[in-house]
Amino acid sequence: MTSNPLQFICSALLRLTGSIALLVLLSSCANKPSTEAETLTTAGAISGNYPNLFAGAGYSQADIDNKIASAFTQLFYGDRDTQRVYYQDGHNSHGPKAYIEDINNQDVRSEGMSYGMMIAVQLDKQQEFNALWNWAVSHTYQDDPSHPAYGYFAWSVRPDGTIIDPMPAPDGEEYFATALYFASVRWGDGEGIFNYQAQADNLLTHMRHREIITGTTIKGQQSATNLFHPEYAMVRFTPDLAHSEHTDASYHLPAFYEVWARVGPKADRAFWKRAAHASRDYFSLAAHPKTGLTPDYGNFDGSPWAAPWRPESKDFRFDAWRTAMNWSFDWSWWRQDPRARQLSDRLQAFFASEGLDNYVSQYSLDGKKLDNAQTTGLVAMNAVASLAATRPVAEDFVHALWQQSIPAGRHRYYDGMLYMMALLHVSGQYQAWLPTQLNEQQP
């Protein structure tokens, strides 16, 4: 991860202890003069220093590692009826296959498959990574050039591979591509579908440049285009032309776009840098000025969008939980936009005012409760917001995540995936795996 061995050792010590006292030592590790304040602003993806908020909150590294290992073991290899979401599914010519199931909806989603791959690469689980990627390519990838979804992954299929909806949900493609780039760095490229770099480059090129294709699908006649709006440089809600002029705040992943601007196809790197800036601006437009809450779906100007088939999408609901994670780990990795700190402070202030044990999972943007339950997934995302937050209450959200049980039962898929990713983010183990020579470069 870093070209300086001493810096690597110091970074490891910081993750183990969470000690601010090590920041001065880290300055010398970087072999350049630096004040403590300057070091505090060094980004994880550039320096290799990823904050361990659990350690900073007083938990031992052994307990942190055990919590992460226990969560992975239960969600991937626990009881198949009540605990796990990862299911092995035989072999094909590429090797073992496996999928992650949304238990409540009884389908396999590109979102969950790509999250599973990201979790696997962060935890050095190449076998699980390859099995998930093999299943995704074998059962959800559209390789017919005449199909409107050509070059993308069906966002919803049945566990037997039957497609429910052929169109993509673009966050799946975003996580797929980034996980593949990280796998290329962490494990090296193999052949065919396991040439991770080539697979990521191909996917990113489709996401950026796919032209309009019209054809017949299981949903009837459809037309679809690229996944990023060329004028706004923002991710679309869908490439389906019927709804392509909208977006989803939780699909905006500027931390990933910065990665693509460094390791993606060279011709598009300037666009991905532009996309990162556009998404940071979008967060500030979409977040409510008092609560910090964002809607599930939105227009490119930041206003909420009530989808005709789902009018409640104008509110803060299940998709929107993830938006704070996105702006917060972008700040933690790249330190490009201090507005992320303001957004996290605003959001956490709202939830703290509701009571850390009392806030619920769905709200109108101005803070009116729309249900009566608190869920692990939102608790997890609010803890990740602490990566950018500046106020003392941020540590309370970290403790709240620590106290959560590993999700089980009917709703374990979404809660479980967000919980698992949050553990990695908050422990400093969710990292940008970049080629060594890029660690301290800006594009």
- Per-residue DSSP letter, 361: S
Closest CA to 253 of 181, 303, 327, 183: 327
- Rounded alpha-carbon distances, angstroms, from residue 420 to 123, 316, 380: 11, 22, 9
Instruction: Judge whether 148 and 222 are in contact, CB under 8 Å.
Output: yes
111 is catalytic: yes
The DSSP bridge pattern shows strands 213-217 and 220-224 to be antiparallel
128 is catalytic: no
400 three-state secondary structure: helix
DSSP calls for 80-98: TTTT--EEEEEEETTEEEE
Q: Which of 101, 102, 107, 111 is catalytic?
A: 111
Q: Which of 319, 345, 415, 440 is catalytic?
A: 319
- Rounded alpha-carbon distances, angstroms, from residue 111 to 118, 153, 302, 382: 11, 10, 23, 20
CA distance 100 to 117: 10
- Rounded alpha-carbon distances, angstroms, from residue 31 to 5, 24, 57, 146: 11, 12, 29, 55
The 3 state secondary structure assigned to 266-314 is: HHHHHHHHHHHHHHHHHHHHHCCCCCCCCCCCECCCCCECCECCEHHHH
- Rounded alpha-carbon distances, angstroms, from residue 305 to 61, 177, 251: 43, 27, 14
Closest CA to 385 of 420, 334, 433, 351: 351
The CA angle 80-400-12, to the nearest 5 degrees, is 85
Instruction: Judge whether 28 and 38 are in contact, CB under 8 Å.
Output: no
Instruction: Judge whether 175 and 242 are in contact, CB under 8 Å.
Output: no
Instruction: Report, as residue numbers or ranges, the catalytic residues.
Output: 111, 319
